[in-house]
């Protein structure tokens, strides 16, 4: 990118164009003035020839000589032609710096009229000097006006530079805020503000991602420590002591149980970390996602009543895998809460530009004072049930990433969770 002075470019370009215009005007005026003076001189010669022709004789012409001299026309008698026409002078010829008209009188006396062009040259020279002086003064005045006008016109650019410097020094909330965006400078200021907003958003996202990474590492190190230590202790006991049954069976069961717990925890932690990435957004029908989950739940709880009802169109824009994770978590929690012959209702409905997935059960429910706390990380209402308290936190974060929300609704009996997402028009 060329970074020459914009102010110098504007001034030089403007003055160059003005100089060209002034030169063209001076040239045109000078040429027109010369042509006018030359035409007047020729007219005077033509009129002198006509006056001589009317006089008719040399004595009469002599009386006209003083008047012609006052007009700058010299008169000279010449020898008449021996033969030929008795009238000439229809053409004015040039001889050096003179214009000459030859005339033959009726008495065959020859008369020659001449006028000098020196006066025309002198007048044109004087006019040219005046024009150059005026053009020079006009150019000097225009230079001062253009410099001042350019400084005023480019003042908004100075404001952009000043604002950019202040933003770079830490005043990140500062903006140009143009009052008009339909002009060049207004468009520039608006684009500058959009760029700064985008940069600030990117910085905030980077900071949030960095904080999420630190949280993930802290969570992983904290949560993995206990199951890994338990698994390690069980394996070391098996290897060191080689116990007999039933102690061996008990330790092997503990290894299997801790391995399963460790796998679930790693899966939850990875899911929590993946939330900071941008999911793939496609048109997804929640009914299509929920149907296999309900069928799987019915297989796992054959004596329970599990119902699915859905409106005609329950399409949202989102990541199908992430949305399946949310619904699976809600249905799994409901299965864990109900009795073997309990009831789960999954209802998908379209309301006010949103699609709502309502998962209700007839289990013990969630106390009113816990309905917000259960969405926090590592919160478990029943420590005796499997899990690490990350499922609902991950589910709500997924909903929020899809510009929706996940809430625990008040209900007379059991628990009811509502997933609300913007619908696809």
What is the per-residue pLDDT across 262-315, written as a single tens digit (0 to 9) for each? 776 677 666 656 655 555 678 999 999 999 999 999 988 999 999 999 988 899
Omega of the bond prior to 246 within 30 degrees of 0, cis? yes
Edge-to-edge strand order for the sheet containing 73-78? 73-78, 110-116, 98-104, 93-95
Using an 8 Å Cβ cutoff, are 172 and 193 in contact?
no
Strands 110-116 and 93-95: unpaired
Give the whole-angstrom CA distance, residue 294 versus residue 331.
Answer: 8
Pairing between β-strand 354-361 and β-strand 343-351 as defined by DSSP bridges: antiparallel
**Alpha-helical segments (H) within 91-183:** 118-153, 155-168
Calpha distance 393→391 (Å, rounded): 6
Question: Looking at residue 343, what is its pLDDT?
Answer: 93
pLDDT category, 86, cuts 50, 70, 90? very low
Residue 382 tokens read as 């029943």
The overall average pLDDT reported for the chain is: 80
Which band of pLDDT confidence, cut at 50, 70 and 90, is reported for residue 240?
A: confident
**423 secondary structure, DSSP code:** B
Between vectors from CA 390 to CA 226 and to CA 271, what angle results, nearest 5°?
Answer: 100
Q: What's the pLDDT band for 116 if we cut at 50, 70, 90? A: confident
DSSP structure class, residue 312: S
User: Percent of the chain at pLDDT above 70?
Assistant: 82
- Residue at token pair 């016109």: 153
How high is the pLDDT of residue 361? 93
Can you tell me the mean pLDDT for 395-424? 89
Which residue did the predictor score with more confidence, 25 or 214? 25
Residue 193 has pLDDT above 80, yes or no: yes
Residue 395 has pLDDT above 90, yes or no: no
Q: H or E stretch including 112?
A: strand 110-116
Residue 322 CA to residue 278 CA, distance in Å, equals: 11
pLDDT-derived band at 209 (thresholds 50, 70, 90) equals low
What are the structural domains, with CATH classification, of the chain? 6-151 (no CATH), 173-277 (1.10.287), 281-422 (3.30.565.10)
CA distance 346 to 359: 5
Residue 366 · residue 337 · CB < 8 Å: no
Q: How far apart are CA 348 and CA 372, in angstroms?
A: 23
């Amino acid at each position: 990118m060329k970074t020459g002075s914009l102010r110098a470019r504007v001034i030089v370009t403007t003055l160059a164009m003005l100089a060209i215009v002034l030169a063209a005007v001076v040239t045109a005026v000078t040429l027109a003035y010369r042509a006018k003076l030359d035409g007047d001189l020729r007219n005077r010669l033509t009129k002198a020839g006509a006056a001589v022709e009317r006089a008719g004789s040399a004595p009469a012409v002599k009386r006209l000589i003083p008047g012609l001299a006052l007009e700058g026309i010299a008169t000279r008698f010449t020898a008449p032609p021996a033969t030929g026409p008795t009238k000439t002078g229809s053409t004015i010829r040039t001889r050096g710096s003179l214009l000459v008209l030859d005339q033959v009188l009726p008495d065959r006396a020859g008369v020659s009229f001449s006028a000098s062009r020196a006066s025309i040259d002198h007048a044109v020279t004087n006019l040219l000097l005046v024009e150059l002086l005026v053009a020079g003064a006009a150019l000097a005045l225009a230079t001062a006006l253009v410099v001042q006008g350019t400084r005023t016109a480019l003042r908004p650019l100075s404001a952009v530079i000043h604002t950019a410097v202040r933003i770079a020094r830490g005043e990140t909330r500062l903006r140009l805020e143009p009052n008009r965006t339909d002009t060049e400078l207004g468009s520039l200021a608006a684009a500058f503000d959009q760029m700064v907003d985008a940069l600030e958003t990117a910085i905030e996202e980077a900071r949030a991602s960095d904080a999420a990474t630190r949280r993930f590492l802290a969570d992983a190190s904290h949560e993995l420590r206990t199951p890994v230590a338990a698994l390690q202790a069980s394996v070391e006991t098996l290897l060191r002591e080689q116990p007999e049954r039933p102690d061996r069976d008990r330790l092997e069961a503990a290894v299997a149980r801790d391995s399963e717990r460790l796998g679930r925890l790693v899966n939850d932690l990875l899911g929590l970390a993946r939330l900071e990435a941008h999911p793939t957004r496609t048109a997804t029908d929640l009914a299509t996602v929920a149907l296999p989950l309900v069928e799987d739940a019915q297989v796992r709880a054959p004596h329970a009543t599990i119902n699915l009802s859905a409106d005609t169109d329950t399409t949202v824009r989102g990541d199908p895998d992430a949305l399946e994770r949310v619904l699976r978590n809600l249905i799994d929690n409901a299965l864990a809460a109900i009795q073997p012959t309990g009831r789960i209702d999954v209802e998908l409905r379209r309301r006010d530009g949103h699609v709502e997935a309502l998962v209700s059960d007839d289990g013990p429910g969630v106390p009113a004072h816990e309905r917000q706390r259960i969405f926090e990380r590592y919160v478990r209402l029943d420590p005796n049930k499997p899990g690490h308290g990350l499922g609902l936190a991950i589910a709500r974060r997924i909903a929020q990433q899809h510009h929706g929300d996940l809430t625990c609704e008040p209900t007379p009996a059991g628990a009811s969770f509502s997933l609300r997402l913007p619908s696809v028009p």
